[in-house]
Structure 1
Amino acid sequence: MAVDLARVRSRFTLVALILPAIVVAAAVVIQALALPSLPGVVATHWGFDGTPDGFSPAWTVPVFTAVLGLGLPAVLFGVAFRSLRRGEHGAAYRLLGAVALGVAVLLSTLMTWTLVLQVGGADAQLPALVVVSSLLAGVAVGAVGWMLQPHAPWHPVATHTPDALPLAPGERVLWTQAVTVAPAGRVVLASAVALTVAVAVMVAVLTASTWATLLAGAIAVLLAIMVVASSRFHVRVDADGLTATSAVGWPRVAVPVADIVSAEVVNVSPMAEFGGWGLRWGPGGSLGVVLRAGEGIRVQRTNGRSVTVTVDDAATATALLAALAARRSA
């Protein structure tokens, strides 16, 4: 059944951009109407026990609601829509739309509720119910956003399966290539690292918890290391099979010749198939070293799972893998 790409794009735009804008606009209006009844300075950050420990001018709350509530969905929309216009689709894009809407609802609900609680100079203590309810509202509306978008799974199609290269008995062969993450992937990965670092800095500045600061910092450092380690891979095909090794030595993906059932050249979409760039897991337990869109090697393993590696000259590597597997079977 053909996918209605126009409907996929229009529903994604509705869920990821239009509905978040409506939600945020409503929240900002409510906050603006409440400003005359608020003190000049209000609580804007709370400790784990609900006691306020950070304060800002009241007018900053609607400003930050607008900036964050519109900015985050706009970033997610921008990441995805260019690829959707090229004809890509799939669960990853549907999830991005749902997340954009859910984040807008979460931020709008939480920031509006915490502001309205302080109308008339009331106690700024933050009840746990406010946080829990805001989270549940974000998840629930995000789920609605998922359902509003059509089910349009991505079905990758092999471009071709090259004939096995002729190999003489005992002949030793080697094929190597290097692949670097594409500019689009670099932007997305760098943005994720920058956002994590920003969160870590905010935790350090706004909280007095050493453990929370250390945890947020450790997460930021770990993510940065993973991004660097997944930015460039060396791909090798030899008598041992297929190997893709990070330029820093780890991670490393290896498929022995004895484990290869078949090999084919495929046209890979990182977002549609794997939900992003780098070392990724896809549907059915498939594994991908996907640093860019375009041609790649896909190897079917004896356990029924597949390994995909995006790399130039994939046809030669695939033909060589087929020859090595056939020689071993013989």
Structure 2
Amino acid sequence: MTSDRLSVRRFVLVALILPAAIVLSGLAIQVVVLPTLPDPVAIHWGTSGAPNGFGPAWITVLLTVVVGLGFPALIAVSALSSMRRGDRGFAYRLLGAVALGVAVLMTVLGTWTLVLQSGLEDAADGPSVLVPLAVSFAVAVLSGSLGWLVQPHEPWRPVAVVPTEAVPLAPGERAVWLQRVSIARSGATVLVAALVLMVVLTTITLVLTPDPVATWVMIGATLLIAALVLTTLAFHVRVDDEGLTINSVAGWPRVHVPLDDIDRAAVVEVNPMGQFGGWGMRWGPAGFGVVLRAGEGIEVRRRSGKALTVTVDDAATGAALLNALATRVG
């Protein structure tokens, strides 16, 4: 078996097959104990470990399915197509390990908390959840670590940089280059799915959890993810006599590299997941990037040696104009 096929198969094993098997096993146990549970069951516990929130037992079953299976599926959607194209990097290995760890955490914790309440007449009399919580996290970390070790080590390989000559400009001539770049469909799918997942979890928290702190934390996290989604769907890219400017279509965030800070600009082939660990404004082995899709982009090397990459169409023209303008002020 070739190394490429081995990487994809191990990723599928860790990120999809094992999580599915673990979640289905946990669901089988949950279904068996359902008739023995009080109504309602405890679904939330305070900092002391005692139950303080109650609801129907199907909430725990639903969370096990939605998070335990939904999160690994979301990861697979974001990574598999790129891996099959040959993209590699630490991010894929990490995503597979995280998918397995989350599936184990949700399954072990959800199943254990239901089993603890089996035979009780009143869920308020249930034991502390602190031990199940600690053990579930420990098992999840161990499972994620094993998932990391099972996958082969294939670091991101730097892509070739295509040197770009400066476009000829007459003395005093001014030029502007404008482009708009939108996030790839796969990236948009992942971001929207993550937002939907947070909305579902927040709704459950609002309806069933009396703890105002937990409620506001979930609302804040959901609003943060919504803002991140809305501000990273598309960007305007501009090259002019002020340098390189990258603006979200929402108006913020904004990235600017002045001409006197540019050493050179070049065209590169960008792999968002392998190089930057995902889509949007990211840090990775290749430096900082505004990466919304795979394909061509402009890599700007600053005089400090740091790099900024932006994925954009007609990157050769933008890089050539940047080099010409930077030469004037250099």
Regarding TM over 0.5, the answer is yes
Cα offset, 1:169, TM superposition: 2.2
Task: Judge conservation of contact 2:183–2:292 (CA < 8 Å) in 1.
Answer: yes
SS of match in other structure, 1:119: coil
Unaligned stretches of 5+ in structure 1? none
Task: Judge conservation of contact 2:77–2:190 (CA < 8 Å) in 1.
Answer: no
Once residues 121 and 222 of structure 1 are traced to their aligned partners in structure 2, the CA distance between those partners, rounded to angstroms, is 39
Structure-2 residue corresponding to 1:308: 309
Pairing of 1:165-244 with structure 2 (within 5 A) = 165-244=167-246
Task: Go from structure 1 to structure 2 and tell me whether the alpha carbon gap of 1:210 and 1:24 turns closer, same or farther (over 3 Å shift).
Answer: closer
Pairing of 1:56-135 with structure 2 (within 5 A) = 56-57=56-57, 65-66=64-65, 68-121=67-120, 123-135=125-137
Cα offset, 1:67, TM superposition: 5.4
Cα offset, 1:32, TM superposition: 4.5
SS of match in other structure, 1:165: coil
Cα offset, 1:153, TM superposition: 1.4
Pairing of 1:240-251 with structure 2 (within 5 A) = 240-251=242-253
1:22 aligns with 2:24: no
Once residues 46 and 294 of structure 1 are traced to their aligned partners in structure 2, the CA distance between those partners, rounded to angstroms, is 46
Pairing of 1:258-297 with structure 2 (within 5 A) = 258-283=260-285, 286-297=287-298
2:37 to 39, 55, 69: 39
Cα offset, 1:56, TM superposition: 2.0
Once residues 70 and 247 of structure 1 are traced to their aligned partners in structure 2, the CA distance between those partners, rounded to angstroms, is 34
Cα offset, 1:52, TM superposition: 4.3
1:5 aligns with 2:7: no
Return the TM-score normalized by structure 2.
0.90
Question: What amino acid is aligned across from residue 315 of structure 2 in structure 1?
Answer: A
SS of match in other structure, 2:119: helix
Task: Judge conservation of contact 1:8–1:149 (CA < 8 Å) in 2.
Answer: yes
Task: Judge conservation of contact 1:47–1:207 (CA < 8 Å) in 2.
Answer: no
Cα offset, 1:212, TM superposition: 2.6
2:151 to 149, 152, 155: 149
Unaligned stretches of 5+ in structure 2? none
Give CA-to-partner distance per residue, 1:155-210, whole Å, 9 cap, x none: 23135222111122222121111111122121111112112222221221111123
Cα offset, 1:324, TM superposition: 1.7
Give identity over the alignment, percent. Answer: 48
1:322 aligns with 2:323: yes
| The 10-residue stretch of structure 1 (8-17 or 117-126) with the greater mean CA deviation from structure 2 | 117-126
Cα offset, 1:66, TM superposition: 4.7
Task: Judge conservation of contact 1:266–1:298 (CA < 8 Å) in 2.
Answer: yes
Give CA-to-partner distance per residue, 1:222-261, whole Å, 9 cap, x none: 2212221121211111112111011122111111111112
| The 10-residue stretch of structure 1 (200-209 or 40-49) with the greater mean CA deviation from structure 2 | 40-49
Task: Judge conservation of contact 1:299–1:308 (CA < 8 Å) in 2.
Answer: yes
Once residues 203 and 86 of structure 2 are traced to their aligned partners in structure 1, the CA distance between those partners, rounded to angstroms, is 39
Give CA-to-partner distance per residue, 1:9-65, whole Å, 9 cap, x none: 0110111112222322332344445456x23536240232421421324x7755653
Once residues 311 and 323 of structure 2 are traced to their aligned partners in structure 1, the CA distance between those partners, rounded to angstroms, is 17
Give CA-to-partner distance per residue, 1:82-138, whole Å, 9 cap, x none: 221111121111111111110111011101211221233284233312112211211
Question: What amino acid is aligned across from residue 51 of structure 2 in structure 1?
Answer: T
Question: What amino acid is aligned across from residue 313 of structure 1 in structure 2?
Answer: D
Once residues 238 and 60 of structure 1 are traced to their aligned partners in structure 2, the CA distance between those partners, rounded to angstroms, is 55
Structure-1 residue corresponding to 2:55: 55
Q: CA RMSD in A?
A: 2.2
Task: Go from structure 1 to structure 2 and tell me whether the alpha carbon gap of 1:275 and 1:156 turns closer, same or farther (over 3 Å shift).
Answer: same
Once residues 30 and 221 of structure 2 are traced to their aligned partners in structure 1, the CA distance between those partners, rounded to angstroms, is 33
1:160 to 162, 174, 179: 162
Task: Judge conservation of contact 1:43–1:124 (CA < 8 Å) in 2.
Answer: no
Once residues 42 and 148 of structure 2 are traced to their aligned partners in structure 1, the CA distance between those partners, rounded to angstroms, is 31
Task: Go from structure 1 to structure 2 and tell me whether the alpha carbon gap of 1:308 and 1:319 turns closer, same or farther (over 3 Å shift).
Answer: same
Question: What amino acid is aligned across from residue 143 of structure 2 in structure 1?
Answer: V
Task: Go from structure 1 to structure 2 and tell me whether the alpha carbon gap of 1:140 and 1:210 turns closer, same or farther (over 3 Å shift).
Answer: same
Task: Judge conservation of contact 2:105–2:139 (CA < 8 Å) in 1.
Answer: yes
